[in-house]
Amino acid sequence: MVDARQLLCAGMEQLGIAATAEQVDLLLAFVGLIEKWNKAYNLTAIRNRDEMLRLHILDSLSILPYISGQKIIDVGTGAGLPGIPLAIFMSDVQFTLLDSNSKKTRFVQQVILELKLSNVEVVHSRAENLGREGEYGAVLSRAFASVNDIKNLTEYLLQPEGVLIAMKGQVPEVELKKIKQNYTVNSIVLPGVEAERCVLRINKT
């Protein structure tokens, strides 16, 4: 069995991501917390550590090149994905992690405390009830709904030049036909994962 640190470092190298020892330590500590809390809180269906590293951590970090903005909101963050891994690498950016599941937001709050992440806040709410109009440079979403639904729910949170960044599996051709704004689609090759991955960036204006 490959050592977790080795797997993570090799995966990041394949993605072209440079990491400090401290960042790797924080990512491994985060996975450790997911494992510890998973039994009671049912945070993720993935129980295998190697799969967690690939499908949660490396998957989250794979969108680093496509992130922009100084204030970012991760909508439907669940166990803190992709928000926590991204916040570890983007310490000068403010992250809001939003979820309507109170068990999951309690877990994420614990992660923030234990990992001492000063650039992250967690909010227990639904996106449509949050308020905070025009506050964010980017909205992140990890495939919790159709692109159009995510856009309609979260667009008001974006600054005029803001962007919705949606993580998806296969390119959602049918969903994209309904999008009127400019958008880009980038394929992502995830180390050790066969399934297709892509990231969409949809401009607000």
**Sequence-distant (≥ 6) Cβ neighbours of residue 185 within 8 angstroms:** 171, 176, 198, 199, 200
Give me the domain span that covers residue 51: 4-203
Q: Look at residue 173 and tell me whether its pLDDT is greater than 60.
A: yes
Mean pLDDT over 46-74 rounds to: 95
Q: How confident is the model at residue 101 (pLDDT cuts 50, 70, 90)?
A: very high
Report the pLDDT value the prediction gives residue 1, as an integer from 0 to 100: 47
Q: What is the pLDDT of residues 113-127, one digit of tens each?
A: 999 999 999 999 999
**Overall number of domains in the chain:** 1
Q: Would you call 155 exposed, middle or buried from its count of C-beta atoms within 10 A (0-12, 13-18, 19+)?
A: middle
More confident residue, 67 or 44: 67
Of the candidates 184, 190, 104, 198, the residue with the CA atom closest to the CA atom of residue 142: 198
Q: What is the pLDDT of residues 143-159, one digit of tens each?
A: 667 888 999 999 999 99
d(CA 205, CA 182): 8
Report the pLDDT value the prediction gives residue 145, as an integer from 0 to 100: 78
Report the pLDDT value the prediction gives residue 41, as an integer from 0 to 100: 86
Token code pair at residue 1: 């069995």
- In angstroms, the Cα distances linking 12 to 26, 58, 81, 138, 170 are 14, 7, 16, 23, 22
Cβ 56 vs Cβ 46: under 8 Å: yes
Average pLDDT, the chain: 94
Mean pLDDT over 24-43 rounds to: 93
CATH number at residue 57: 3.40.50.150
Q: What is the pLDDT of residues 62-95, one digit of tens each?
A: 999 999 999 999 999 999 999 999 999 999 999 9
Q: What percent of the chain has pLDDT over 90?
A: 83
Mean pLDDT over 94-98 rounds to: 98
